A and B are shown apart, each in its own frame.
Chain A
């Protein structure tokens, strides 16, 4: 084929810690097409794009761009050659304006020294018009919603004359409505002659916009082909090697009394932003309450306050009727809380500690595990081995460092610890982020099982499929407030949640309370 703009051949990449992220991966991209790169979390998609973009070195293979071999040693060279990349985590300076971000590294100068602010705004407006991407040139990035920030990143790449645009999981942080807008933009760019590579693991998106597709699994490219008649089911089976299960779990049969109760909880962060504006909610024994919402709308603060890691300005939190706000994290755990944290590497584990050391952090001080301060390591090893077996944690031994396990297995260590402390209330924040499909199913089953045992489960997730699959009730969070409460999640579709997630719609006096 002569109209290949990119020809990636046999890329081999090992990270310094021994993880093979790309195992002889090949992929060709046709000029002026939208090319979807799909695969589960950890399949090696971001790595491949980082190799292409000159961010990370690789050990084997070659890249042909516009008919000649290239090897970019840094992103600047890639940009100069006409390749642009919008990263999974946006990389804009929050305190600069849109225009200032746009011209970073190619600043128009006044008198050779000073930034020409007017010229910057003019460049920004011009680019914005040329590509039909509306952005507020003079606003600070900090004040913009994620969807708009992303548009700024795209524009930034285009303003540097990108012909090939790489988007790494652009839709992960967007609501369904914002996703629609993004896809219109992509169609527009294609019409303007650009080539787009976009990474996702949501299959409905692929069938909607892609012309061609590459499927990655387990560090390898399984296939590259035209979309033609390929449907979601076929892609899914290519992606995971087996069928995934998004079917909703049956509703709980026995719901009991309120276990976790939050009332009028308010918190203003150090920047003066009201992160929580008076939150009310209840979670009852035997149910899963799902909290949907774009990340960064106050979910993290809510969870950290409940767990005692942060103090609110006002309001109350009770577990089983006891107020927990003045208690230490340990006392709150003893009151019956278990917590799967959203950031597992930060809070969930100590990477350089062994699996068994990680498994006992919430219980080592109990009489079972020591007498007068002397730890029973033999017993701890035995119990750890049981957990490793029960939760199917793949590790060489209980003495292996947690940091050398894969993401899914690290998460299983966290889950194994949290679900075996005999809690009454379980907070699960992004419990399956970045884990493989097998672990995801295991974790979902465990949460369901905990629910059926009468525990109160509070699920916080940015993944709407996950929220809808597991929850029997759903509340939606936007800008520190609950904007909607769906008492019967089985009647809800993801598109119903979108307007509330964006704050476009809001129920009057919405809360997650049960008596309302």
Chain B
């Protein structure tokens, strides 16, 4: 049993963090709400109460998965690039511009628009990569700064050149029918982008754990000196990891436009890049686990919305829980003493068995 705990310690730690998060949620609802029983029900079972809400969760999880997976790939190569947000939005803007200015059959249009968006995201994200590889400029700072540049450039592009003057508010022209995702369950907003997100996660898993490049990424992430010593080209890893990050986040951004809104309509930063970091951390940078952490976060968000709508607790409650969980997961010392005690007992036992 204790051996088992040690083996899966990080996973167990995440679980315990989640459980504590849930307990705190319950306590807070009891403190805030006039009728806590009802509120609890809204929060926890609300998201599952109707087909519509269930699909809401899936639809909300898709961009989180895209960004989470993108970030996980760079995390695994020990790059702390915060640029998913920037790549996400600039790819959506440029992809939208491309989609509304071209005309071709859907079979060609959809993939081409996605590729244009992905490449835009990749090129954008390449800049901090090159700065890092050439001058060792922190990718954390440069990618963060570039998020603002990406955001305002996107607004400029859409508002000044591709704005729908008839819409009555600031949005882009509508994408042509040939460039929007169909729904795979009619009557819902279950669009093809959700499937694409899961495919991206599966591909990332395959890439990281089964290919030579993925091996290079992980070894560089584990120990750069070792990777270099062994002959791995770590400059290539740094640059390629940012390119992949930008590409996947970019496809994620475009897929939101093509699947949900049919046009570019953000006038504020959508924040999916940040959600991506959250789900990547909760999912321990593992692409498959990120699918689940994204679903979890989306579930909490929808729960928060239901609670906000029907109950008397503000949706911000979710932010508190989310922060608490992240804090517990990233605090290395959390449960450290417990692990130490088990390790010690285990060592003594093996000792006695000798």
Binding site for B on A (CB under 8 A): 14, 16-20, 23, 59, 307, 309, 328-330, 333, 339, 341, 346-353, 357, 360-362, 364-365, 369-370, 373-375, 377
Contact flags B262-303 to A (C-beta < 8 A → 1, else 0): 000000000000000000000000000000000000000000
In the bound complex, residues from chain B placing their C-beta under 8 Å from that of A14 are: 343-344, 347-348
Closest CB pairs A-B (n = 4): A330-B231, A361-B230, A350-B222, A350-B223
Contact flags B222-236 to A (C-beta < 8 A → 1, else 0): 110111111111000
| B322 interface hit (Cβ, 8 Å) | no
Among the listed A20, A349, A351, which residue makes an inter-chain contact with B351, where contact means beta carbons less than 8 Å apart? A20
Known pairs A349-B223, A351-B223; A18 contacts B344 (CB<8 A): yes
Evaluate contact between A352 and B222: CB separation under 8 angstroms: yes
In the bound complex, residues from chain B placing their C-beta under 8 Å from that of A369 are: 212
Evaluate contact between A373 and B347: CB separation under 8 angstroms: no
| B308 interface hit (Cβ, 8 Å) | no
A sample of 10 more A-B contacts (CB under 8 A), given A18-B346, A307-B229, A361-B219, is: A14-B344, A23-B351, A329-B228, A329-B230, A350-B226, A353-B222, A362-B231, A370-B212, A375-B210, A377-B210
Known pairs A330-B231, A353-B218; A20 contacts B210 (CB<8 A): no
Evaluate contact between B226 and A361: CB separation under 8 angstroms: yes
- Chain B contacts with A in 183-240, Cβ cutoff 8 A: 210-213, 215, 218-219, 222-223, 225-233
For the complex, what is the distance from the CA of A364 to the CA of B227, rounded to whole Å? 12
In the bound complex, residues from chain A placing their C-beta under 8 Å from that of B211 are: 370, 373-375
CB distance from A336 to the nearest CB of B (A): 13
For the complex, what is the distance from the CA of A154 to the CA of B248, rounded to whole Å? 60
Evaluate contact between B226 and A330: CB separation under 8 angstroms: no
Known pairs A14-B348, A309-B228; A350 contacts B219 (CB<8 A): yes
In the bound complex, residues from chain B placing their C-beta under 8 Å from that of A333 are: 231
Max chain A Cβ within 10 angstroms of own Cβ: one of B219, B226, B227: B226
CB distance from A399 to the nearest CB of B (A): 11
In the bound complex, residues from chain A placing their C-beta under 8 Å from that of B213 are: 373
Among the listed A17, A328, A329, A353, which residue makes an inter-chain contact with B219, where contact means beta carbons less than 8 Å apart? A353
In the bound complex, residues from chain B placing their C-beta under 8 Å from that of A364 are: 212, 215
What would 13 A/B residue contacts be, using CB atoms closer than 8 Å? A14-B348, A18-B343, A20-B348, A59-B344, A309-B228, A329-B228, A330-B232, A339-B229, A346-B225, A361-B219, A364-B215, A375-B212, A375-B215
CB distance from A478 to the nearest CB of B (A): 27
In the bound complex, residues from chain B placing their C-beta under 8 Å from that of A350 are: 219, 222-223, 226-227
In the bound complex, residues from chain B placing their C-beta under 8 Å from that of A329 are: 228-231
Known pairs A370-B212, A375-B215; A347 contacts B225 (CB<8 A): yes
Evaluate contact between A16 and B231: CB separation under 8 angstroms: no
In the bound complex, residues from chain B placing their C-beta under 8 Å from that of A348 are: 226, 229
For the complex, what is the distance from the CA of A243 to the CA of B43, rounded to whole Å? 71
| B340 interface hit (Cβ, 8 Å) | yes
Evaluate contact between B222 and A351: CB separation under 8 angstroms: yes
- Chain B contacts with A in 13-61, Cβ cutoff 8 A: none
For the complex, what is the distance from the CA of A274 to the CA of B137, rounded to whole Å? 29
For the complex, what is the distance from the CA of A182 to the CA of B181, rounded to whole Å? 80
Evaluate contact between A16 and B230: CB separation under 8 angstroms: no
Chain B's closest residue to A330 (CB) is: B231
- Chain B interface residue count, Cβ-Cβ cutoff 8 angstroms: 27
Known pairs A353-B218, A357-B215, A364-B212; A18 contacts B347 (CB<8 A): yes
For the complex, what is the distance from the CA of A365 to the CA of B343, rounded to whole Å? 37
Among the listed A307, A328, A347, which residue makes an inter-chain contact with B226, where contact means beta carbons less than 8 Å apart? A347
CB distance from B3 to the nearest CB of A (A): 11
CB distance from B316 to the nearest CB of A (A): 37
In the bound complex, residues from chain B placing their C-beta under 8 Å from that of A18 are: 343-344, 346-347
For the complex, what is the distance from the CA of A509 to the CA of B229, rounded to whole Å? 33
CB distance from B170 to the nearest CB of A (A): 45
Evaluate contact between B344 and A330: CB separation under 8 angstroms: no
For the complex, what is the distance from the CA of A357 to the CA of B229, rounded to whole Å? 14
In the bound complex, residues from chain B placing their C-beta under 8 Å from that of A59 are: 344
For the complex, what is the distance from the CA of A307 to the CA of B226, rounded to whole Å? 13
Chain B's closest residue to A377 (CB) is: B210
CB distance from B143 to the nearest CB of A (A): 25
In the bound complex, residues from chain A placing their C-beta under 8 Å from that of B347 are: 14, 18-20
Known pairs A23-B351, A350-B223, A373-B213; A341 contacts B229 (CB<8 A): yes
Contact flags B341-354 to A (C-beta < 8 A → 1, else 0): 00110111001000
In the bound complex, residues from chain A placing their C-beta under 8 Å from that of B215 are: 357, 360, 364, 375
Known pairs A329-B231, A350-B223, A361-B231; A374 contacts B351 (CB<8 A): no
For the complex, what is the distance from the CA of A346 to the CA of B339, rounded to whole Å? 26
CB distance from B339 to the nearest CB of A (A): 8
For the complex, what is the distance from the CA of A288 to the CA of B230, rounded to whole Å? 23
For the complex, what is the distance from the CA of A369 to the CA of B215, rounded to whole Å? 12
For the complex, what is the distance from the CA of A328 to the CA of B212, rounded to whole Å? 18
Contact flags B319-354 to A (C-beta < 8 A → 1, else 0): 000000000000000001001100110111001000
CB distance from B89 to the nearest CB of A (A): 31
Max chain B Cβ within 10 angstroms of own Cβ: one of A333, A347, A361, A370: A361
Chain A's closest residue to B218 (CB) is: A353
Chain B's closest residue to A341 (CB) is: B229
In the bound complex, residues from chain A placing their C-beta under 8 Å from that of B351 are: 20, 23
Chain B's closest residue to A349 (CB) is: B226
For the complex, what is the distance from the CA of A195 to the CA of B61, rounded to whole Å? 69
For the complex, what is the distance from the CA of A329 to the CA of B230, rounded to whole Å? 7
In the bound complex, residues from chain A placing their C-beta under 8 Å from that of B336 are: 16
In the bound complex, residues from chain A placing their C-beta under 8 Å from that of B348 are: 14, 20
For the complex, what is the distance from the CA of A337 to the CA of B121, rounded to whole Å? 41
Chain B's closest residue to A334 (CB) is: B231
CB distance from A506 to the nearest CB of B (A): 33
For the complex, what is the distance from the CA of A23 to the CA of B227, rounded to whole Å? 37
Evaluate contact between B229 and A373: CB separation under 8 angstroms: no
CB distance from B52 to the nearest CB of A (A): 42
CB distance from A127 to the nearest CB of B (A): 41
Evaluate contact between A361 and B232: CB separation under 8 angstroms: yes
For the complex, what is the distance from the CA of A375 to the CA of B217, rounded to whole Å? 14
CB distance from A56 to the nearest CB of B (A): 13
In the bound complex, residues from chain B placing their C-beta under 8 Å from that of A374 are: 210-211
For the complex, what is the distance from the CA of A348 to the CA of B339, rounded to whole Å? 28
For the complex, what is the distance from the CA of A365 to the CA of B233, rounded to whole Å? 12
For the complex, what is the distance from the CA of A435 to the CA of B339, rounded to whole Å? 28
In the bound complex, residues from chain A placing their C-beta under 8 Å from that of B346 are: 18
